[in-house]
Amino acid sequence: MTEKSFAIEGMNCASCAAHVEKAAAKVEGITFASVNLATERLTVSYDERKADFTRLLEAVDKAGYKAIDDEKERLAARPETDRLKKRLLWSLLFTVPLLILTMSVMAGARLPVFISPETSPLNFALLQLLLTTPVVITGRNFYITGTKTLLRGNPGMDTLVAMGTAAAYLYGIYATVRVAGGDSHYVHNLYYESAATIITLITTGRYLEARSKSKAGNAIRTLLNLAPPLATVLRDGKEKTVPASKVRVDELVIVRPGERFPVDGIVTEGITSADESMLTGESTPVEKDEGAEVTGGSINLNGSVVCRATRVGSATTLARIVKLMEEAQGSKAPIARLADKISGIFVPVVMALAMLAGTAWLIGTGDFKLAFTVLISVLIIACPCALGLATPVAVMVGTGRGAQQGILIKGGEALETARKAKVIVLDKTGTVTTGIPVVTNIVPVGDASKDQLLSTAATAEGRSEHPVARAVVNHAAEQNISFPSPDRFTALPGDGVEAAVNGTHILAGNRRLMTERKVDTTTADMIAEKLSEEGKTVMYVAANGTCLGIIAVADTIRPESAGAVHAMKKMGIEVMMITGDSPQTARNIAAQAGIDTVVAGVLPGDKAEEVRKIRSSGRSVIMVGDGINDAPALATADLGIAIGSGTDVAIEAADVVLVKNDLNDVVRTLRLSNSTISNIKQNLFWAFFYNILGIPVAMGLLHLFGGPLLNPMIAAAAMSLSSVSVVWNALRIRNVRL
């Protein structure tokens, strides 16, 4: 199955989202449909052999909404905030004088004779009609969408607003006609100001909501803006400026100080430092010399360099991150299902309650004005927009906050799952450890010094590609120890190497090699045994048949591992380590990291089985790894977290990617999960509470016992405020300390 997303116009509440999902899911070839109200996008899974997107667009249109398939059309569309701002300004232009006019009368102020309700009732009514009509026209989208959805059996928020304001407006016209006919007492029950004010208040709420949602989606827009539009390439020996999207793989790209790298690549000429904070969240510049990898979107700080493009266009790291975030922000957390279920039936129930309450008050009191007020108030206050925004906006902000810290979360489900974790399983190599062997001990035997021992070993290992050999050679270079190139070199698989330089015969390898070549290692053996017990790889070094000493190499623990493990355990989570290494080495590393439970000597396929065993005990498991051998376990766990430097296979299998290769980011992921899910629960509580409290009040419960009756304008303000407050609450996640 393949996925595709569409921009959806016309949605304003959870009911709208549910109707779009339902319409899309009925189209042949569509296997799954999900709508995110916060991002206003429909994502579908489809069968390529059967799916017809023209039918999908038609189905969404028939449901009363508009689906936009073409990406260029979507991007060219005027931002929602701009449209709403224009509508709001026009509404305010006429609503403010209307309110001044009507409120003045209520306050007892005397109006000019020609518009006074006492002396010129018709003029008073006509002036209100004149001021209200432009507002109604400005809010025509309420009526267009509301009518469409009602006629198609899918009433939503716009239906409620349209019914309430249309009832008030049409009654006002009816009253005006009666005033023109001589029934001047109708001038005191026109309801024009209710219709205009409700439209203006709801438009205000939507404008504020759109602005807040825009802030929530800033993470993606910020990332998109990082990609420079142009690149300077070398073609036919000449510099040429081309669109960054037109750069070809293996093409040479020139990047000058202050410019952003347009593609991922490898430095072939020059030395510089790069600001990669956009990717890692770390502000410290990273040195880049020849052979170093650079990431598109990062800033070249000081030196002019030439890079060979390795990934371009949609394949760049930045483009992949943007795609991942779009998918994450378009996803739903399982906690949203409750709101979806309720919202799907909410609007029809509200319409029924409004009619029931209005009829009951009319029959019980005979007061049409009271009954009419109750009807409109219930229709307006019960709009379930806050319910629909409670989850997706929080997920949007949470994933954006994670991205700023180098934590790429693939969806709302991952955020919710992380919070439930009882066990965290860590891979060893490359996760708890650096994954890079380094020299830990240089122990001479006899008269040789440490420098002589290291120089001799580096000479012998200089031509070897074995990780242990590379560790020795790199350490010698770091210590500024010179070592000549050997005259003769022979690799001895499974044992070590043999070399000769300036008449000196050198052996470097394991004890078996020394025994075979009759080198006396009696003194060195005790040292070697102790170092082996510490989980280190031991190399014997001999020259002309004499053992010079031992060099120990080990994959060292990451500096942050012990602190991260302690933080996980402090959260009440059991931490385990699963590795294919020997039990001895595994126990040593685990002891350094503070890990109590170790499973060693595990084959790649068995890692997944070990994770499955833990899950079968009823405990939720997070697996953290970086290699190809970790991919099955990452996919098997409730939540897979891949260290960012790991393989593409591991990253694809994981639900969360840690760009910085920092185990502390696992802890930050857990904290972000807790904050986001708590925020969602707060939003859902207030959304439910608002409707549970507001509907009975609007139906006149307080008035039944002598209390006040809810004014429709106050109901509109409360409804708008509930949506805005949910979005603002979600925005607090941006400031959560991780």
Is residue 288's pLDDT more than 60? Answer: yes
Q: CA 598, 604, 610 angle in degrees (round to 5)?
A: 45
| Residue 635 and residue 444 in contact, taking contact as beta carbons nearer than 8 Å | no
Query: pLDDT: is 636 or 581 the higher one?
Result: 636
Return the amino acid letter for 89: L
> 712 vs 310, which has greater pLDDT?
310
- Where b means 16+ CB within 10 Å and e means fewer, 396-431 reads bbbbbbbbbbbbbbbbbbbbbbbbebebbbbbbbbb
Higher pLDDT, 663 or 18: 663
Q: Is 447 a catalytic residue?
A: no
Q: Which of 673, 599, 597, 610 is nearest to 636 (CA)?
A: 610
Going by C-beta distance under 8 Å and a sequence separation of 6 or more, which residues neighbour residue 134?
A: 90, 93, 94
Question: Tell me, what's the pLDDT at 189?
Answer: 73
For 730, phi then psi, to 5°, come to -65, -35
Identify the active-site residue in 158, 264, 427, 626.
427
- Side-by-side strand order, sheet with 272-275: 286-288, 272-275, 299-300
DSSP at 260: B
- CA quadruple 589, 592, 595, 598: dihedral, nearest 10: 20
Strand ordering across the sheet containing 230-235: 238-243, 230-235, 252-255, 305-311, 264-269, 293-294
pLDDT of the residue at 72: 43
pLDDT at 398: 86
Q: What's the confidence (pLDDT) of residue 131?
A: 95
- 205: helix, strand or coil: helix
Q: What is the pLDDT of residues 2-26, one digit of tens each?
A: 778 888 887 766 667 777 888 888 8
Number of other CB atoms surrounding residue 307 within 10 Å: 27
In the chain, what is the greatest distance between 2 CA atoms, to the nearest angstrom?
126
Residue reference for tokens 């053992």: 547
Q: Is the pLDDT of residue 599 over 80?
A: yes
**CA atoms lying within 13 Å on the CB side of residue 78:** 6
Report residue 682 as tokens: 């707060």
What pLDDT, on a 0 to 100 scale, did the predictor assign at position 153?
Answer: 74
> DSSP string covering 567-603, please?
HHHHTT-EEEEE-SS-HHHHHHHHHHHT--EEE-S--
Instruction: With a cut of 70, say whether residue 384 has pLDDT above it.
Output: no
Tokens of 722: 């509930």
Judged against a pLDDT cut of 90, whether residue 331 lies above it is answered with no
- Distance from C-alpha of 455 to C-alpha of 468, rounded to nearest angstrom: 15
Residue in this structure with the two tokens 């379930």, named with its chain if needed: 384
- Whether 483 and 476 have beta carbons less than 8 Å apart is answered as yes
For the beta carbon of residue 129, count every other beta carbon within 10 angstroms.
Answer: 18
Q: Mapping DSSP to helix (H, G, I), strand (E, B) and coil, where does residue 264 land? A: strand
- Residue pair 294/264 in contact (Cβ under 8 Å)? The answer is yes
Q: Which residues are paired to 443 by β-bridges?
A: 550
Q: Is the pLDDT of residue 336 over 70?
A: no
Q: Please give the mean pLDDT across all residues of the chain.
A: 83
Q: What CA–CA distance (Å, rounded) separates 388 from 328?
A: 17
pLDDT of residue 165: 86
Alpha-carbon distance 125 to 647, whole Å? Answer: 73
Residues 558-565, mean pLDDT to the nearest whole number: 92
Q: Which is higher by pLDDT, 245 or 475?
A: 475
Token pair of 114, please? 């020609």
Cα–Cα nearest to 628, from 589, 654, 665: 654
The interaxial angle of helices 157-180 and 121-138, nearest 10 deg, is 160
Smallest CA-to-CA distance from 687 within 390, 395, 398, 397 is with: 390
Q: Which residue type sits at 204? A: T
Q: 360-365 long-range contacts, Cβ below 8 Å, gap at least 24?
A: 361/700
Q: To 5 degrees, how large is the angle CA 595–CA 596–CA 599?
A: 90
293 CB neighbour count, 10 Å cutoff: 15
State the DSSP code for 517.
T
* DSSP conformation letters of 87-155: HHHHHHHHHHHHHHHHHHHHTTPPPPGGG-TTT-HHHHHHHHHHHHHHHHHHTHHHHHHHHHHHHTT--
> Dihedral sign, CA of 404, 407, 408, 409?
negative
Rounded (to 5) percent helix, strand, coil in the chain: 55, 20, 25
- For residue 75, pLDDT beyond 60: no
Contact 496, 510 (CB under 8 A): yes
pLDDT for position 76: 44
Note the pLDDT of residue 159. 79
Q: Is the pLDDT of residue 281 over 60?
A: no
Query: Is there a contact between 2 and 45 (Cβ–Cβ < 8 Å)?
Result: yes
The letter for the amino acid at 227 is: A
pLDDT of residue 356: 92
- Other C-beta atoms lying within 10 Å of the C-beta of residue 572: 8
Mean pLDDT, rounded, for 331-359:
72
Model pLDDT, residue 77: 47
- Non-local CB neighbours of 309 within 8 Å, separated by 6+ positions: 247, 248, 249, 250, 251, 252, 253, 263, 264, 265
Collapsing DSSP states into helix, strand and coil, what is residue 183?
A: coil
Among the listed residues 43, 650, 527, 624, the one whose alpha carbon sits nearest the alpha carbon of residue 326: 43
Least confident of 332-336, 392-396, 408-412: 332-336
Identify the CA nearest to 412 among candidates 400, 390, 401, 396.
Answer: 396
Residue 220 has pLDDT above 70, yes or no: no
pLDDT band at residue 526 using 50, 70 and 90 as cut-offs? very high
Tell me what pLDDT residue 135 has: 94
Query: Burial level of 706, CB count in 10 A (0-12/13-18/19+)?
Result: exposed
CA–CA dist 87, 139 (Å, integer):
7
Q: Is 345 helix (H, G, I), strand (E, B) or coil?
A: helix
Q: How confident is the model at residue 328 (pLDDT cuts 50, 70, 90)?
A: low
- Percentage of residues in the chain with pLDDT exceeding 90? 25
User: Do you know the residue count of the chain?
Assistant: 738
Residue 359 pLDDT level (bands cut at 50, 70, 90): very high
8 Å CB contact between 19 and 156: yes
The alpha carbon of residue 299 and the mean position of all alpha carbons in its chain are separated, in whole angstroms, by: 23
Q: Which long-range contacts (CB under 8 A, 24 or more apart) does 572-575 make?
A: 573/421, 573/422, 573/423, 573/424, 573/670, 574/422, 574/423, 574/424, 575/423, 575/424, 575/426
Order of strands across the sheet with 488-492?
Answer: 433-444, 546-557, 537-543, 504-509, 496-501, 488-492
Alpha helix segments (H runs only) across 26-79: 53-62, 71-76
Separation CA 279–CA 258 (nearest Å): 17
Query: Given the DSSP bridges, would you call strands 546-557 and 433-444 parallel, antiparallel or unpaired?
Result: antiparallel
- Token digits of residue 470: 């590379």
What are 255's strand-pairing partners? 305
Q: Is the pTM of this model over 0.75?
A: no
